[in-house]
Structure 1
Amino acid sequence: MKRFVLIFILFFSLNCFAQDSTYTRKIINILTSKNFWGRGYTKNGMSKAADYLSAEYKKLGLTTFNGHYKQHFNFPVNTFPGKMMVELNGKKLIPGKDFIVNNESKGLKTNANLEKIDSLNFQGSPNLQVVLKDKLTWSVATEVADYTIIQVNRKNFTQTPKNINVEIENKFVADFDASNVCGYVKGTKYTDSILIITAHYDHLGGMGSETYFPGANDNAAGVATLLSLAKYYAIHPQTYSIGFICFAGEEAGLLGSKYFTENPLITLNRIKFLINLDLVGTGESGMTVVNASVYPKAFAMLNKINNEYKYISKINSRGKAANSDHYFFTEKGVPAFFIYTQGGPSAYHDIFDKPETLPLTEYNDLFKLIIGFNKKLME
């Protein structure tokens, strides 16, 4: 009978994790949908995502820090809401696939002959340049330059560029409104002690009126994992409080997390540890922990749990790096790890980072590893 009970508990536990995996996939599909337009700066993409996450926090029963799930802030950003047309040698190029415009570029309408600078660079005018690239990756700029640079995928365009016809619209927004989305599950014993899970929900948005960047691995996967953990902890409150923060403005320079650390909704010394999740949708080649060498005891604890239960095939140690939202917390003295997985699809900051190609290889194991690590931190 005892053996039967143990088998039942094990089956029920595994089924819960499977259900969480289904929930995670659902969240990723929603956040990467056309409706959210890359969770960026045009078509209200980021605002819609913040509303959705706030509603999900409420549905899960998370408590607000200050009466609201949203923490508003603003920053400047260069956007491309309208025309996005490039013809090279009379051939119309496809935005995102055949070309991208540099994120800091100004709008431009011109038809110009191109002068070869070298094998990869071509000049159309003092303020127009064409660059041939093997891979097109986009980003976010908080200012506008006095030039326009167009990157062309040379795998899709094998001719020598001689003439270009361009019509690109940009719009500089001096005070783009964004929101961090914050909530927590109250601890059952040490309510003033808190563990924090973070992930940025913003991505690159859209380039023109017809092309957007889904951002499945970067970082819908991290947000979906965060929500799955929130769902778990809402059902299973811990002795410590567990907080959840979805940051905006990460792609524009870690702006949401910087704002939070400068305007904290809780006293930062209450945070006993923070785990930041970014790019966690793969795992075939293991995972990496940024700040592992900064907090060796915590990293040893994480490895001990992983080795005992054989969750992740390999955990790589990395030192301090200002490459995601953990950074400004550690600068303020908050111990933090930034976790990202490796292997699988190589899509990154491009239109091919889609949910249908995201394997979530190590989702269940990462989920259990984080729960086990948090449990040890509370002992």
Structure 2
Amino acid sequence: MIDPVCIISHNSTEPSSLVEVVFQIVDKKFNIYFKSDENTLLSGNAEAFLACALLPSMKMGGGQIVTKGEVSHKFLSALSTIQDIYCTWQPSFKRTEITGISTLKHPPSSQKRVGAFFTGGVDSFYTFLKHHDEITDLIFAYGLDIKLKDTVLRKKVSKKIHEIASEFGKNVIEIETNALELFDFYVNWGKLGHGAALAAIGHLLSPSFHRIYIPSSYTYSHLFPWGSHPILDPLWSSETLEFIHDGCEATRVEKVALLSKYDIALHSLRVCWTNPYSVYNCGKCEKCIRTMINLKINNALNRCTTFSEELDIKQVKKIVANTEGTRAFIQENLDALEKNNGDEKLRKALIYVLNKPDMPHLKRFRRKIKNHIKQIWKRIF
């Protein structure tokens, strides 16, 4: 018998607005909660808990995940392929077994509600606007990209999302969770964790929905290991709930072209990931700058009221394109400018960003050489 790596215990047998789960992973315990508004009940099913536990367990060497309850036959069958993907992306990961549960083949859902995870960013706006005739609910997960302690920013974002929903006659579901504590301790949130967390939240909302859209981050031409991925997200589905990874066919420039047709989008767009002093968009971080370039290319920057800063070429040149994702986004902007004979100064600035050396790498190299010289100096004297 393989020793358990993760033991899951929870208080939820009936639908509730608060689901609390304890994950005992080797010698560490995590008290994780999911909380919804009073009008939304969370199911607390085993699929959600397994989605949370899988990555930490694989990181810690596999073994067993021990829990109780019933789980979808389709979901459980797909966990083998999900683990294949993770093990390919992270060769140090080990496969894990699931014990203590029984499987059921659920009948297809009779629900007609369709959800979409929504943050107010470019990707989520694109997916919503593309499918707004079908989507009934916007799902905003608080505690993932907005820190739980930042209640000021949460209120700002919540207000905007409700305004967007009201404009289109849609419902808003807000889920508060500290699940980031669990994922962050074991894996990189962007590269691996966030897709599984979204799947967990989606299953907590089952069986109220039969389909939930997860907005894409990258195009089909720029795919690499990432927590939310077109080959991974659909595998989290069950017989009653379908996950769809949406938007890989469009670049960020093309996504902004769609949302720039809607004033409500230009008055609500939120992309910043630094949010100093709870500001909506700082206008200075890499993500703000490249989104402002997207808007400028689409002649919409002056109409986007959520950016108070002007696009500064000096700030553009400061971007460090040292990841696959950043380089892909910069290249998309450059391609769009060259295709449309856009701003020449901006075009040259983007070329400079793509071709300049990786300064952090050089700084580390210089520091290493300096330390080496110090060691030699000590040996001599």
With normalisation by structure 1, the TM-score equals 0.29
Higher helix share goes to which structure?
Answer: 2
With normalisation by structure 2, the TM-score equals 0.28
Higher strand share goes to which structure?
Answer: 1
